[in-house]
Amino acid sequence: MNEVDLTVHLTPDDIVRGLRSDVRTGLTAVPKTLPPKWFYDARGSELFERITRLPEYYPTRAEREILAARSSEIASLTGASTLVELGSGSSEKTRFLLDALRDKGTLREMVMLDVSESALREAAETLSAAYPVSVHGVVGDFTQHLALLPGSAERLVAFLGGTIGNLVPAERTKFLTGVRDVLDEGEWLLLGTDLVKDPAVLVRAYDDAAGVTAEFNRNVLHVLNRELSADFDAAAFEHVALWDEAQEWIEMRLRATRPMRAHVPVVGLTVDFVEGEELRTEVSAKFRPERVRSELADAGFELREWWTDRDGRFGVSLSRAVAR
Ligand code: SAH
Ligand code: AVI
């Protein structure tokens, strides 16, 4: 096995500090909100992996179909020697890219960044055992730590799964500009984006019959209870997934089924919910191809290829960093 080196830009202390700050801001706001990155402790990462195998959750299968069909073309076009994956999770689909880059003979190193240390360690060890390249795992936040990523030209940054949709538009602009800033002209971005479609299909994907997404959603409250000694009664919140037609995003919320008071002693906060009150935990934006192209262009990327799965549910774009 090649060596796995792990760099930690988010220590457990940093994580608790960040969580405290987001809780203070989000749970005193009207309406209440929490950022989705707090879903992903070890249990949340496992629940997400279960989501990817649900019959209703098509994005993972659709993106896998595209990567299986196009990775060899991606390897030929980019000739990348460093593959950088952001929000890498299990990096399961990434193997198509790694296989193709290895077969081309260009691949030298893999850098993977995720906020979830457990998911990152497991994936880094698996990839390191399977590929003859150096694997660098970075525990970090892709909205904060892009400038600290290792890796040398020619780089291909992959941001898969549709995770860009979990950022609101202003965050997306900042994120894409941040990625552009760390790349040299001519380097590459491979971006997975879920596409606008029949709202019934979308809502089913975020409200599955087995209740796995509901458990994933409630997991954020378990994280608050553990990390901040809070006392949320997670079972008393019901999972809500709705389609926001105007914003073209799915919104996940947790709805209080009765009046509740929760304490978050670590931040000295008492949080009251009236019956039916909702806490927004995630947006998952769905895209039209023109929007992907224009957001990329605004950040300094030129779209070179656009692929969808056979059913047109999911899009993967390959774009190149250009002069700004
Ligand atoms: N790319 C994988 C996983 C998607 S799930 C796939 O396509 O299946 C989203 C991943 O992003 C999770 O592993 C989660 O831990 C990570 N993540 C979420 N917010 C993050 C952030 N702000 N910084 C870094 N990683 C983040
Ligand atoms: C990681 N991200 C792209 C997933 C999504 O579809 O927005 C997270 C998720 N939320 C509910 N199900 C899956």
What are the φ/ψ torsions at residue 174 (nearest 5 degrees)?
Answer: -65, -40
Q: How far apart are CA 242 and CA 34, in angstroms?
A: 17
Across the range 268-272, mean pLDDT stands at 98
Phi, psi of 2 (to 5 degrees): -75, 165
188-227 pLDDT, tens per residue?
Answer: 999 999 999 999 999 999 999 999 999 999 999 999 999 9
8-state DSSP, 35: -
User: 88 C-alpha vs ligand 1 centroid, how far in Å?
Assistant: 6
pLDDT one-digit tens code per residue, 75-126: 999 999 999 999 999 999 999 999 999 999 999 999 999 999 999 999 999 9
Q: Residues for the chain: how many in total?
A: 324
Q: Is the pLDDT of residue 1 over 70?
A: no
300: region left, alpha or beta (phi > 0 left; psi from -120 to 50 alpha) = left
Q: E strands within 130-264?
A: 134-139, 155-159, 188-194, 237-244, 249-256, 260-264
DSSP for 45-66, written as a single string: HHHHHHHHTSSS--HHHHHHHH
* pLDDT above 90 as % of the chain: 96
Q: What amino acid occupies position 262?
A: A
User: How remote is the CA of residue 262 from the centroid of ligand 1, in Å?
Assistant: 28
Ligand nearest to the CA of 171: 1
Residue 152 confidence (pLDDT) = 83
| Upper half-sphere CA count for residue 90 (Cβ side, 13 Å) | 15
So what's the pLDDT on residue 2? Answer: 60
Q: Which numbered ligand comes closest to the C-alpha of 137?
A: 1
* 239 Cα: distance to centroid of ligand 2 (angstroms): 14
Contact 162, 130 (CB under 8 A): no
Q: How far apart are CA 105 and CA 153, in angstroms?
A: 15
pLDDT of residue 323 exceeding 60: yes
Residue 153 and residue 78: Cα distance in Å, rounded? 11
Q: Is the shortest distance between the CB of 115 and ligand 2 below 6 Å? A: no
Closest residue by Cα to atom 16, ligand 1, is 87
Candidate of 96, 115, 223 to mutate for ligand 1, largest count of ligand atoms within 8 Å of Cβ: 115
Spatial separation of the C-alpha atoms in residues 91 and 125, rounded to whole Å? 11
What does the pLDDT read at residue 141?
97
Q: What is the largest CA-CA distance in the chain?
A: 61
d(CA 186, CA 184) in angstroms, rounded, equals 6
- For ligand 2, whether the C-beta of 213 sits within 6 Å is yes
pLDDT band of residue 142 (cuts 50, 70, 90) is very high
Match 């795992």 to its residue by tokens: 137
Q: Is the pLDDT of residue 3 over 70?
A: no
**% of the chain with per-residue pLDDT over 70:** 99
Query: CB–CB of 152/38 below 8 Å?
Result: no
